[in-house]
Structure 1
C-alpha cells in the first residue's frame, strides 16, 4: 500500500541515477530523457558546475530568512532583470507561486480585479492559478472558481477587445501554451493584443514558467515578438532541478509590493539560488541561446524527415527545444510505446506528444530520439 495521495498517474520507471540527457532506472535500464523533469533540467541532469555551486552553498548555510540581506538574491535578481529588460524580482518556490504573485501584484498595482487569460491556457493548480487556467478539466470537482477571471480564444482580437473593461487588471498569457497542446501565439496577434491592453490601462503579464530560461532559443519567449511586458513569471528551468520561481516586473510596480504585502518562507532559498546563478550564467549567454535555436531547428527537421509519411502525424510545431508532435489520435499510448523503446517524453493535451530535451542535448541524441519515435509509429 502506498501512503501517497494518488494525484499522479505514475510510469513504471523508478529512477536511480541520471546524467546529462540520460536517466537510469533501478533495474539498470537507460533512457534518453526528453522530459528534463518537465522542462526543468535545462543543463541536463547533475550538471557539474551547478552541482559544485550547490555543494559550496551547502557547506556555508542552507536557510536563514528573508529578513536578512542576501547578496546572492541580488545577484540572481540582476541576472533575471538584465535578461528580461525589466527591473525588480520577487522569489518564490514554483511556477504556480510565481503566477499567484503576478496576479496579486497586478491587482494591487492597478486597483482592479479582473484578469483575462486564454482558453487552453495553464497557469497552475493553486486556487487563483487554477481559476486563471483556461481548461475546465483542471477545475473539475473543486467547486466554484474565483469570479475575477475571464477567458477568450487565442488569436481572437475582437473577443479580447470586448473583454477589456475598467476593472481589467491585466492579460495573463503563455507565448506558447505548453500543457494546452504546444499552441504558439502568433507574433502579430500578441503585439496587437499588447497594444489593446496598454490602451486600456491594464498590465501585460507573461507566464514564462515553461517557455522561459532559454527553452525557445531566447532568454524569454516574449522576446521573439518584441513585447514589453509589465510582469513576467518564471520557474522550472531557473535552477536546473532545485525548487525556485520568480516574478520580474517594472520598477513602477514597486510600491504595490511594499514590506508586508507579500512573502515566502522558502522563496529565494540560498541553495536554490546557488544553482540558479550558475544556470543563468550559462543559459543567458548569447552563443548558448543561438545553439538552442539551432538544435531546435535540427530536432524539428529530424522529426519531419522521420515522420513525414506517418499517417498518425498531423504536424510538428513549437519553437526552440519545446516541440510538439500533433497526432490524429490520442497521444498517451504512443508515450508508453516510445518509453518501451528507451525514450522518455510527455503529452500536451490529448493529441500532442511533447518533447522538452535538455538544452545541452547533443546532435546524436537528437537523431536517436527521432529514430526511436519513428520506430514506435511504424510498429504494428
Structure 2
C-alpha cells in the first residue's frame, strides 16, 4: 500500500539513474526516454552545464526569499524579456501557477472578468487554471467552477467572434494543444485572434508551458509566426531542465497592475532553479541549436509519415519540432504498453494519440531506434485491415 495519494497512473518501473536520452531502471534495463519528464528535461537528463550552474549556486545559497535583491532573478528575467519581446516577469513554480498569475493579471489590468479559452485545451489543475481548461474530464467533481470562462472550438475564428463581448478580458491559447492530442494551431487563426484582441482591447495570453523553451525549434512556439504579439506569455516545464519553475512574462503596460502585495509565491524565483534556467535560456538563444532541432524534427516526422503509409492503424502524423503526435484509428493504451516493453518511453495524449517529446539533444541514431520500435509495435499489434 502506497503512502501517496493515488492521483497518478504510475508505470511499474523504478528509475535508478538517467543520462542524456536514457533512463536506467531497477534491474539494469535501459529505456530510451521520449517523454523528457513530460517535456521538462529538454537538454537531456543530467546535463553537464546545468549541473555545473546549479552546483555553483548551491555553494552560495539555496533560498533566501523575495524580500531580497537577487541579481540572478534580474538576469533570467531580462533574458526572458529579450526572447519574448515583453517587459516584466513573475516567477513561480509550475505552469499551472504561471497560468493562474496570467488570469489574475488579465482581470486586474482590464477590470473585465470573461476569459475565452478553447475546447480540448489544458492550462493546469489548480482552480483557476482548471477552469480555463476546456476539458470536462478535468472539471468532473470539482464544481462549481470559477465563473467567467467560455470554451470555443479550436481553430474556429467565427466561434471566437461570437464569444466576444464588452466583458472579455483575454483570450488564452496554446500554439499546440499538447494534452488535447497534439493539435496544431492554424496560422491564419492565430493571426486573426491576435487582430481581434488588438481591435477589441482584449489581452492575448499564449500558454507556452509545453511548447516553449525550444521544444518546437523556436525559443517559444509563437515566434515562428510573424507579427504575433502576445500581451502575456506563460512558460514552465523545460525552463529549468528538471528543477521546479514557472514564469509569467507580460508587456510593459501591465506592470503597474501587479504592484507590491498583489501576488506572490514563496519559492518563486528560487536561485537554484534559476541557475538551471540560465543555461536553458542561453541554449535556446543559439540559432544553430534551434536549427538543429528543426532539421532533426523535419527528418524524423518525414520518416514517420513514410512508415505510416504501410501501417493502416496510423491515421495521422503531426507535430512541430520535437513535439509530435501519432494518431491511431483505435485506442493507443495497448500500443503504448508494448512500446514501453520494447524499452521506449512515450506518452499518451487523449485516447488515440501517442505523444513523443524526446530531449532536444536527442541524436539521429536515437531517433532511428525509436522509429524502428514504433514501426514494429504498430505493425505487430495491427488489428485493422486496410480500408
Report the TM-score, using the length of structure 2 for normalisation.
0.97
Residue 305 of structure 1: how far off its partner (Å): 2.6
Residue 306 of structure 1: how far off its partner (Å): 2.5
The equivalent of 1:248 in structure 2 is: 249
| CA displacement, residues 247-270 of structure 1 (integer Å, 9 cap, x when unaligned) | 111000011000001100000000
Residue 309 of structure 1: how far off its partner (Å): 1.0
Counterpart-to-counterpart distance in 1, 2:23 and 2:302: 25
The equivalent of 1:35 in structure 2 is: 35
Counterpart-to-counterpart distance in 2, 1:305 and 1:150: 39
Residue 45 of structure 1: how far off its partner (Å): 0.1
Residue 193 of structure 1: how far off its partner (Å): 1.3
Counterpart-to-counterpart distance in 2, 1:171 and 1:284: 28
Counterpart-to-counterpart distance in 2, 1:377 and 1:183: 21
The equivalent of 1:45 in structure 2 is: 45
Task: In structure 2, list runs of 5 or more residues that go unmatched.
Answer: 382-387
Counterpart-to-counterpart distance in 1, 2:18 and 2:308: 29
The equivalent of 1:257 in structure 2 is: 258
Q: Does the Cα contact within 8 Å between 2:218 and 2:284 map onto a contact in 1?
A: no
Question: Are 1:68 and 2:52 counterparts?
Answer: no
Residue 22 of structure 1: how far off its partner (Å): 0.3
| CA displacement, residues 33-52 of structure 1 (integer Å, 9 cap, x when unaligned) | 00000000000000000001
The root-mean-square deviation of aligned C-alpha atoms, in Å, is 0.8
SS at match of 2:367: helix
| CA displacement, residues 213-251 of structure 1 (integer Å, 9 cap, x when unaligned) | 010011111112221000000000000000000011100
Q: Which runs of 4+ in 1 moved over 4 A?
A: none
The equivalent of 1:179 in structure 2 is: 179
SS at match of 1:326: strand
The equivalent of 2:26 in structure 1 is: 26
Counterpart-to-counterpart distance in 1, 2:237 and 2:30: 24
Residue 283 of structure 1: how far off its partner (Å): 1.9
Residue 302 of structure 1: how far off its partner (Å): 2.0
Report the TM-score, using the length of structure 1 for normalisation.
0.99
The equivalent of 2:385 in structure 1 is: none
Counterpart-to-counterpart distance in 2, 1:115 and 1:332: 34
The equivalent of 1:234 in structure 2 is: 235
| CA displacement, residues 173-215 of structure 1 (integer Å, 9 cap, x when unaligned) | 1010000000001011110111112211110000000000010
Q: How does 1:1-380 map to 2 (within 5 A)?
A: 1-226=1-226, 227-380=228-381
Counterpart-to-counterpart distance in 1, 2:81 and 2:170: 21
| CA displacement, residues 316-342 of structure 1 (integer Å, 9 cap, x when unaligned) | 101000000011001111111100001
